[in-house]
Amino acid sequence: MSVVLACDLGGTSFRAALIDAQGATRAETVILGPMAADRLGWSEIDATEWWRILVAAAGRLAQAEPDLFGAVEAIAICGVTRTQVFIGRDGNQLRPAMTWKDSRAEAAAARLREQLSDAHPETGRINAFHPLARLAWLREEEEACFRALACVLEPKDYLNARLTGRQAGDPVSMARLMASREPAAGIDPFAALGLAPSILPAVIEPTDAVGPVLRGLPAPLDRLAGVPVFCSSSDTWVAVAGLGALREGYAYNISGTTEVLGAVGPEPVEAEGLLTVDWRGLWQIGGPSQNGADTVSWLLSLLGRNSGEAGAIGREIGALLAGRRHPQPLLFLPYLQGERVPYWNPSLRGALVGLNRQHGATDVAFAVLEGVGFLNRIVLDRAEAALGVPVGEIRFGGGAAANPVWSQIKADICGRPVVVGASKEPGLLGAAIVAWTGLGRFASLAQAQDALVRPAARFAPDPSRKAAYAALFALYRRSEAALAPISADLAALSRGAGALPGVRAPMSPVSKDRPA
């Protein structure tokens, strides 16, 4: 039996599996990801920790299934995006990677937008989470690193480079930097920052091989020398393939640490706050939020019900949802870490609205799930309006998809059927689809999806809940509008001197003189 090594570098964990050509997982392991250094808008991870975890995950699989590990025919890794690894001329990282949560480039983004003309199509997309804004921040705050910069890689491309010795990326993951590299209307964003086009790695298709595994790598990767490593793509694009939604007329919703929701169409369309990305013959409109299943983890920790054990989150939220709910619902704005799609505002903050003395943990749990569902609906409404047609169904995957109550809530709020795939890890299955397609086992990604993806459950919208959720959604939108200015003022206070009781001084930021 032959297998591929599929890996998913997620926001909080690293998953790896040996998957055969029928889509069956023969061995799987998960390792908690490195702890991000988070403070006041900063979020950094040492990229070498991802490499260490990849080696450890491969070691676990080789120990569990030594014969199967020796039969690996290819490797494909998908990974978080909106995260930059800054590489020097020696091929090593210059500084810790800036993660998807990092918002410190907000002011640099504003200055960059002023510097560039609105005539360039990318200018309006530049915000605190945009890679060009982070490069502008690097130039302002860590000039030595900026001058030593040779390449900017996505996390999965950093691992691919460690495996093969070649720096390459795909056009889906690198869409924003690629768009920034292209001059338009006499404006050259790269030149404005003093960036060389060569900081972008070679651009190849997700199903193209970056190269073979190098000899001499740490065990057990040394056993895979010569095996092709396929470029793959972002965790979103790959997981959508693993859900069977990489096709026209479908929507997808992936709920891991954060949520990603979008719709797939045949042509590029635009909508306020949404990303339009070329998905290699198809176009997606939508994008990532800052909030998702991690919001549930936050709630359980707040209630003292998150033990950290495997499966604990699912059990505990299930127990809360099984409780009795008060007739008066609560509203929850899920913006605990600011928000990306559709607001791109790092200063948004979360809120519970409507609390009374009779409300309990069950009411808050429902409000949290519904708050994320309302955010899903905002994105879906904008995407469908741009496409001009409703989607047929929403393919739902990720950890939260194991909860049938949340699946039903999403179907009721969005008014579309929600379909959960049989694979509990669509990112891993999608990576396997990329690898098997790259090997030529399937003629196309569409053919691979048809062969390997199987739906497991379908949740149709409940007509009896339509009116109640419509009323609650209207109140949600009013709450957003009313509280956004207060969120901004509260965020501003956190950057002040802070004389409130119990407030401790924040950690000192990294020096501008960080060595290159």
pLDDT tens digits, residue range 228-245?
Answer: 999 999 999 999 999 999
- pLDDT-derived band at 506 (thresholds 50, 70, 90) equals low
- Which has the minimum average pLDDT: 419-428, 459-468, 492-501? 492-501
pLDDT at 496: 67
Q: Are 412 and 469 in contact (CB under 8 A)?
A: yes
- What confidence tens digit (pLDDT) does each residue in 57-71 have? 999 999 999 999 999
Is position 453 within any domain?
no
Do 273 and 341 fall into the same domain? Answer: yes
Residues 84 and 209 in one domain: yes
Confidence at residue 505, expressed as pLDDT on a 0 to 100 scale: 62
Do both 303 and 199 map to the same domain? no
Taking CA 377 as the corner, what is the angle to CA 373 and CA 380, rounded to the nearest 5 degrees?
135
SS3 49: helix
Q: Are residues 272 and 174 in the same domain?
A: no
Instruction: Read off the pLDDT of each residue in 104-120 and give the average, rounded to a whole number.
Output: 93
Judged against a pLDDT cut of 90, whether residue 504 lies above it is answered with no
Rounded mean pLDDT, 451-468: 97
* Position 154 confidence tier, pLDDT thresholds 50, 70, 90: very high
What is the rounded average pLDDT of the residues 283-312?
88
Comparison of pLDDT for 399 and 351, the residue scoring more: 351
> Rounded to the nearest 10 degrees, what angle do helices 47-64 and 155-164 cross at?
60
Residue type, 445: L
Q: Is residue 124 within 8 Å of 180, Cβ to Cβ?
A: no
Q: Closest Cα to residue 406, out of 504, 515, 299, 264?
A: 299
Among candidate residues 203, 233, 263, the one where a domain is terminated: 233
Distance of CA 88 to the CA centre of its chain: 25
Q: Is cis: bond before 342, omega within 30 of 0?
A: yes
Number of domains in the chain: 2
Asked if pLDDT for residue 368 goes beyond 60, the answer is yes
Q: Does residue 21 lie within any of the structural domains?
A: yes
Whether residue 382 is predicted with pLDDT greater than 90 in this model: the reply is: yes
> Which CATH number belongs to the domain containing residue 222 in this structure?
3.30.420.40
185 plus 249 within the same structural domain: no
| Token digits of residue 345 | 């505002």
Rounded CA-CA distance 439/452 in Å is: 15
The pLDDT assigned to 507 comes to 54
- Asked whether the beta carbons of 14 and 7 are under 8 A apart, the reply is yes
Q: What is the mean pLDDT of residues 98-122?
A: 93
Same domain, yes or no, for 99 and 213?
yes
What is the pLDDT, as a whole number, of residue 508?
46
The answer to whether residue 429 sits within a structural domain is no
Contact by Cβ (8 Å): 371, 334: yes
251 with 197, same domain: the answer is no
168 CB-near residues (< 8 Å, 6+ apart): 157, 160, 161, 201, 202, 203, 204, 210, 231
Mean pLDDT of the chain: 94
498 belongs to a structural domain? no
Q: Please provide the DSSP assignment of 321-378 as one string.
A: HTSPPPSS--EEE--BTBB-TTT-BTT---EEES--TT--HHHHHHHHHHHHHHHHHH
Query: Are residues 406 and 272 located together in one domain of the fold?
Result: yes
> Is the domain of 398 the same as that of 309?
yes
Q: Which domain holds residue 91?
A: 3-233
Q: Each residue of 254-274: pLDDT tens digit?
A: 988 789 999 999 999 999 999
The pLDDT assigned to 251 comes to 98
In the Cβ-directed half-sphere of 309, how many Cα atoms lie within 13 Å? 6
pTM as predicted: 0.89
pLDDT number for residue 511: 42
According to the model, what pLDDT value does residue 441 have? 97
Q: H-helix or E-strand containing 117?
A: none
